[in-house]
Amino acid sequence: MLLSVTGLSIAVAAGRAVDQVSFTLDRGEVLALVGESGAGKSLTGAALIGLLPEGARLAGGRLEFAGVALERLAEPGWRRLRGRRIGAVFQDPLAALDPLARIGDQLVETLRVHHAASRPRARRQAAEWLAQVGIPAARARAWPHELSGGMRQRVAIALALAPRPALLIADEPTTALDVSLRGQVAALLRRLATGQGTAVLLISHDIASVAAAADRVAVMYAGRIVETGATAALLRAPAHPYTAALLAARPGILHRPDRLPAIEGTMPPPGATVTGCAFAPRCGRADARCAAEAPDLPPHGAACWHHD
């Protein structure tokens, strides 16, 4: 077991944004964390690389990564892990690369920081990495603004994977891209990561990317995981009504990529007092029990009273 998260809770000013989340991740495995914006996916990812935004803090839980208790790490300890052992790719490829440095130089810098390699060797490795993500070596001297969004995100993937981390947090790595590119970039991410034994926590609300890259899926709603399962099985036969609604409302080719699945009603925000199942007000199958009592998440399956 590479990563074991038990009872992770994260508090923001309004209240709990992530509540008692637990999951595990094996070496070389890809776990997708899906759900609407605001469900707590990104905060979970940020906690795993020690970069929680200002105003958010860990409120409990154990994060065990390769024998290290991440929840107890202070900044110097995080610095030894970041990049080398745990990497990250973020949503916005436009903002991720330093606009004032050539992409090759950014790769060389990262490689040299982690492997203390000689400059010529780092340069060779940088060219190899660019080739791996499908960018001709000649473009190493390009500036970030000269590349397309897809190319930039592939450079960011190379930057994150180049130090060969054991775990990669990929936070919406395909959301900013054109719909037609998403599955392709997600599949590339999976191929390169699993090829070198890197486990990936893929945070996404894009079902196509999840289908292309993930071994297992965990569905989050209002700060909790409501269903887990193997990707193919979960996508084919969702057990939780929320998962089913999410899949049904999945945007087609003609939908604007920034519009999210239209499920009626809204998710309760962090800090809202919820009795019973948080999804009950929006659920077609909800009854008196759903409104009164919150269902637990079984080891395999869905947190739903109507699931058998």
Partner 1 sequence: MSRLLLTRLLEAVPVLLISAAAAFALGQVAGDPLAALGLDASAAQRAAAAARLGLDAPLPEQYLRFLWAALHGDFGFSIRLARPVGALLLERLPATVELAGAAFLVALAAGIPAGMLAALHPRGLAARAVMAVSLLGVSLPTFLTGTLLILLFAATLRWLPSFGRGEVVALGGWSTGLLTGSGRLALILPALTLGAFQAALLLRLVADGMRGALASGHVRFARARGLPPRLIRRHALRHALVPVLAAFGMQLGLLVAFSIVTEQVFQWPGIGLLLVQSIAAADVPVMTAYLVLTSVLFVALSLLADLLALAVDPRLRQGRGG
Q: What is the spatial distance between Cα 167 and Cα 201, in angstroms, rounded to a whole number? A: 8
In contact, 186 and 5? CB cutoff 8 Å:
no
How far is the CA of 180 from the CAs of 96, 149, 150, 242, 248, in angstroms? 21, 13, 10, 26, 20
Shortest Cβ distance from residue 159 to partner 1 (Å)?
A: 6
For position 74 contacting partner 1 by CB under 8 A, the verdict is: no
Shorter beta-carbon distance to partner 1: residue 114 or 306: 114
With CB under 8 A as the rule, give the number of residues binding partner 1: 33
For position 163 contacting partner 1 by CB under 8 A, the verdict is: yes
Give Cβ neighbours of residue 298 (< 8 Å, ≥ 6 apart).
Answer: none
Give Cβ neighbours of residue 76 (< 8 Å, ≥ 6 apart).
Answer: none
Structure tokens at 196: 């070198």
Q: What is the spatial distance between Cα 200 and Cα 22, in angstroms, rounded to a whole number? A: 16
Q: What is the spatial distance between Cα 13 and Cα 278, in angstroms, rounded to a whole number? A: 20
Shortest Cβ distance from residue 304 to partner 1 (Å)?
A: 35
Identified binder of partner 1 from the candidate list 64, 71, 105, 109, rule CB under 8 A:
109
Shortest Cβ distance from residue 244 to partner 1 (Å)?
A: 34
Q: What is the spatial distance between Cα 255 and Cα 62, in angstroms, rounded to a whole number? A: 40
Q: What is the spatial distance between Cα 244 and Cα 57, in angstroms, rounded to a whole number? A: 32
- 167-171 and 57-65 beta bridge pairing: unpaired
For position 95 contacting partner 1 by CB under 8 A, the verdict is: yes
Alpha carbon distance, N-terminus to C-terminus of the chain: 29
Shorter beta-carbon distance to partner 1: residue 26 or 98: 98
Residues 4-63, interacting with partner 1 (CB under 8 A)? 49, 51
Shorter beta-carbon distance to partner 1: residue 89 or 212: 89
Q: Per residue, what are the HEC states of 228-280?
A: EEEHHHHHHCCCCHHHHHHHHCCCCCCCCCCCCCCCCCCCCCCCCCCCCCCCH
For position 110 contacting partner 1 by CB under 8 A, the verdict is: yes
Shorter beta-carbon distance to partner 1: residue 153 or 204: 153
For position 289 contacting partner 1 by CB under 8 A, the verdict is: no
Shortest Cβ distance from residue 90 to partner 1 (Å)?
A: 6
For position 150 contacting partner 1 by CB under 8 A, the verdict is: no
For position 139 contacting partner 1 by CB under 8 A, the verdict is: no
Piece in contact with partner 1 (CB under 8 A), picked from 22-30, 64-72, 137-145, 259-267:
137-145
> What does the per-residue mask of binding to partner 1 show for 168-197, with x meaning CB under 8 A?
-x----------------------------
Identified binder of partner 1 from the candidate list 56, 143, 181, 263, rule CB under 8 A:
143
Contact positions vs partner 1 (CB under 8 A)? 49, 51, 79, 81-84, 87-90, 92, 94-101, 109-110, 113-114, 143-146, 156, 159-160, 163, 169
